[in-house]
Structure 1
Amino acid sequence: MKMILPIFVLSLLFSSSYAAVQDFCVGDLSAPEGPAGYSCKKPAKVTVDDFVFSGLGAAGNTSNIIKAAVTPAFSAQFPGVNGLGVSVARLDLAPGGVVPMHTHPGGSEVLIVVQGSICAGFISSANAVYFKPLKKGDIMVFPQGLLHFQINAGGGPALAFVSFSSPSPGLQILDYALFGNNLPSELVEKTTFLDDAQVKKLKGVLGGTG
């Protein structure tokens, strides 16, 4: 009897743990995304295609003001990463291209350069600056929520792949946050110490009003 009871208790524990395991939560993109991600698709509707993303093989369109393109494979594009705490993206930088100061409030970032040269860096919350030119094969990490940037530091195209510690890391580009909206120019001037002409010029370039 003394041996039977512990075995019975252990079997209950193992069966309860096994029943509680959920292998994945493929995002149901037909439902809205919440702070915890997307709700799960019913297992019967999950296919292998939910766990495969083929969109990072082609270069992004760098014909824009920053001469750069980011192709994301976040939960909104790649539902298989929903709830797994990971995602990836492709970064293309044409000559002279730049990803301006920006943050990912939802996750840390790891960048690996696979072509060309990229100058990358970030600023800590204590305003310490960490930046360095990176070449093919170099990796750099950007802690969650900190302002960081990437600039093409060579004469030809540059290519990098980035991974995130979140299936939906979010993105806020500082320049657009300041000058690409309808925040009144007088408030931007007071908070940035820029004069009216500079603010109006930047709003005109980045599509802001006010």
Structure 2
Amino acid sequence: MEVNADDFFKAANLDKPRVTNKVGSNVTLINVMQIAGLNTLGISIARIDYAPLGQNPPHTHPRATEILTVLEGTLYVGFGTSNQPAPNRNKFLSKVLHKGDVFVFPVGLFHFQFNPNPHQPAVAIAALSSQNPGAITIANAVFGSDPPISDDVLAEAFQVEKNTIDYLQAQFWENNHN
């Protein structure tokens, strides 16, 4: 009853490039936290900037399907399934996208985007089927948790030596807790 136009508006400047992070990406998400009018509408949008050779690392959206459109540059994208019955166990689907191409990542499946060009940045817009899609970055969640997951558990799960797990946890702990 008390809504106004500002409840449905955000001066987001999605046309402006963003500075990328350590892995070479920057996700500018516009969801219900930025636009109150998105509440119950089941949509959100994001601009994703990729540095040359940058990536939006493997992650999942537990509450949304994502449709990605490349605005500039080239992206290598993919997603995978897991724990499927034979013969499709752990199927991986990928594609190289160019300006104007579109790719869909089904809800809950891990996916990524990578800019294979060493000289040019890339930009994409992602539309998501939730007002609050959530994001779980796989490596951060596994190796950067607080408190850390036991290196015995992770060494067995990933079938590597404990010192490899210790090294990975140190990388993600430092990045996530400083």
**TM-score, shorter chain, exceeding 0.5:** yes
Identify which of 110, 130, 139 aligns with 1:147. 110
- Return the offset for 1:195: 1.3
Q: After TM superposition, what 4+ stretches of structure 1 lie above 3 angstroms from structure 2? A: none
Q: List gaps (5 residues or longer) in structure 1.
A: 1-42
**Would you say 1:58 and 2:22 are equivalent positions?**
no
Give the counterpart letter for 1:180 in structure 2.
G
Contact persistence 1:133–1:153 (CA under 8 A)? no
- Separation in 1 of the partners of 2:17 and 2:173? 26
CA displacement 1:94-122 (0-9 Å, x = unmatched) = 01111111110101000000000000011
**Would you say 1:192 and 2:155 are equivalent positions?**
no
Contact persistence 1:73–1:89 (CA under 8 A)? yes
Identify which of 78, 93, 116 aligns with 2:50. 93
Give the counterpart letter for 2:128 in structure 1.
F
Contact persistence 1:61–1:69 (CA under 8 A)? yes
Identify which of 28, 33, 36 aligns with 1:71. 28
- Separation in 1 of the partners of 2:8 and 2:104? 25
**Would you say 1:178 and 2:142 are equivalent positions?**
yes
Greater shift, 124-133 or 200-209, is seen at 200-209
- Return the offset for 1:163: 0.3
Higher RCO structure, 1 or 2 (CA under 8 Å, sep 6+): 2
Give the counterpart letter for 1:149 in structure 2.
F
- Separation in 2 of the partners of 1:188 and 1:179? 9
Contact persistence 1:100–1:149 (CA under 8 A)? yes
- Return the offset for 1:57: 2.8
Identify the residue that residue 87 of structure 2 maps to in structure 1: none
- Separation in 2 of the partners of 1:53 and 1:195? 48
Identify which of 118, 128, 133 aligns with 1:164. 128
Higher strand share: 2
Equivalenced residue count is 165
CA displacement 1:142-187 (0-9 Å, x = unmatched) = 0000011100122311000000111011110110111011112222
Q: List gaps (5 residues or longer) in structure 2.
A: 85-89
Identify the residue that residue 120 of structure 1 maps to in structure 2: 77
For the pair shown, the structure with the greater C-alpha radius of gyration is: 1
- Return the offset for 1:60: 2.5
- Return the offset for 1:194: 2.0
- Return the offset for 1:204: 1.4
Higher helix share: 1
Identify the residue that residue 96 of structure 2 maps to in structure 1: 133
- Separation in 2 of the partners of 1:176 and 1:89? 20
- Separation in 2 of the partners of 1:203 and 1:110? 32
Identity score, percent: 36
